[in-house]
Amino acid sequence: MSHDAGFGTIGVSRDLCEALSAQGINEPFPIQTLTMPAALAGRDICGKAKTGSGKTLAFGIAAIETTKPATPRHPRALVLVPTRELAMQVAGVLSPLAAVRDLTVVTVYGGDSTRKQAAQLGRKSDIVVATPGRMIDFLERGEIYLDEVDLVVLDEADRMADMGFTPQVTWILRHLGDKHPQTMLFSATLDGDVDHIVKKYLIDPVHHEVESDQATVELMEHRFFRVHQMDKVNVATTIIDGADRCLIFVRTKRGADRVAADLRREGAKVGVIHGDLPQKNRSRAMADFGSGAIRALVATDVAARGLDVKGVDVVIHYDPAEDHKAYLHRSGRTARAGKTGVAVSLVLWDQERETEILQKRLGIAQPLVEVFSNDPRLKDLAAWDPATEMPPAPAEEATGTDGVAAPLVQPKPSASLRPRPGPARRRRRML
């Protein structure tokens, strides 16, 4: 593609245009088109954009275009992100482009060897992608210095605020020295703590807002299923069986381990990621999920923040989302880049009122449909029509004496939920 087309029209240099084209990236996303000219001119940027809108390349290309080679432990560009998964993802996007300019991208996050990360900083650290906690740890230990930073990026600023990182972020920003580095902030919302950061640490920023067509509530299918506690695992297993790639959200780390174990007992190939797992386990799960070696991934909200895995066609809200923003973030892992996707909520009897409130807040009008795991429609959720009648079961299994097909009934509970035999019963078995 000619340099006079695509990214070249918004000021990107020929060598980076060619590197992008080699990856099949030829046309900029709206957030890139809007922010790139001002970013390349050195202006502060305040961008409101959802995950999946292309903001990683928006700030990444600008960082690579403007970053000069750095001395060890004195980076020239700093990108702060809320989670280690997002740090790895951002570094994965930037590293191939940075290599074109002989620049090195180093990641700094918790859960991995401090010695290894410190050694990387000591060799070459032009662009550092970091989580706030580990960055402060390294600053206090003298493993990194921010006196030569020319560009700071705050990615997923709203999530960092939600996770309680605002004090750490502001502490880091106050330790950048007397000069004001170019600052770029990207967030899905700009209220509360995010607004405070914008007003205090950005100077005359250029504001841009993009409503991504890849992660909006209007452009995906939504299903709300009333399920029985004893059949919930089986329902999820059936959905996974019909999906190409499924992401399952739970609220707690312990819950993630439990749900993954339950699904495996029912024959589903699933991985799990949460904050208590060693980084090598999380990386392996993400690699297996990305390659298709496993069909489903169980994740907590925090661990999955910012994940951009291609081909996720179903998101299951196994536990209810904490609020409407969490629902949108979770659901936004599917229906990306013009693809179709389905967000499924599994609702227990005592969660119905909570679900009703959530639907009103989101403006979603979908019926709450009772389902059981032997409902064949669960294997093709994209074609699901709640207005249609449930398909009849095979005549030899479910036809009554009057010749009328009986409705599907609740199957046996999953093995992990069946009552265990009591002491007396076990003694009889031994006899």
Is residue 396 pLDDT above 50, yes or no? no
What lies within 8 Å, CB to CB, of 425 at 6+ separation is: none
Domain 217-381 falls in which CATH fold?
A: Rossmann fold (3.40.50)
CATH 3.40.190.10 for the 6-210 domain, yes or no: no
The pLDDT tens digits of the residues spanning 342-393 come to 999 999 999 999 999 999 888 888 889 999 999 988 988 877 766 655 554 4
Distances (CA, A) of 235 to 232, 379, 392: 5, 10, 18
Fold agreement (6-210, 217-381): yes
Low-confidence winner among 77-86, 87-96, 296-305, 331-340 (lowest mean pLDDT): 331-340
Written as one string, the DSSP assignment of 195-214 is: HHHHHHH-SSPEEEEE--SS
- CB-based burial of residue 167 (10 Å sphere; 0-12 exposed, 13-18 middle, 19+ buried)? exposed
- Average pLDDT of the segment spanning 50-73: 87
CA distance readout (Å), 210 to 33, 51, 288: 11, 11, 32
Q: Express the helix, strand and coil content of the chain in percent, nearest 5 each.
A: 45, 15, 40
pLDDT digits (tens, 9 = 90+) for 92-135: 999 999 999 999 999 999 888 899 999 999 998 999 999 999 99
Look at residue 431 in the predicted model and tell me its pLDDT.
39
pLDDT over threshold 50, residue 157:
yes
Q: pLDDT tens, 199-210? A: 999 999 999 887
Residues 145/148/151/156 CA torsion (nearest 10 deg): 10
Among 32-36, 154-158, 417-421, the range scoring the smallest mean pLDDT is 417-421
Is 99 or 302 the better-scoring residue by pLDDT? Answer: 99
Note the pLDDT of residue 338: 54
The pLDDT of residue 232 is above 50: yes
Model confidence at 410, in pLDDT bands (50, 70, 90)?
Answer: low
| CA–centroid distance for 245 within its chain | 14
Share of the chain above pLDDT 90, in %: 51
* Average pLDDT score over the chain: 83
Chain segment 7-24, per-residue pLDDT in tens: 999 999 999 999 999 988
CA distances, 431 to each of 67, 346, 420, 422, 423 (Å):
77, 43, 18, 15, 13
What digits encode the pLDDT tens for the residues 310-339?
A: 778 899 999 998 888 788 878 877 766 556
Q: Would you list the domain boundaries of the chain?
A: 6-210, 217-381
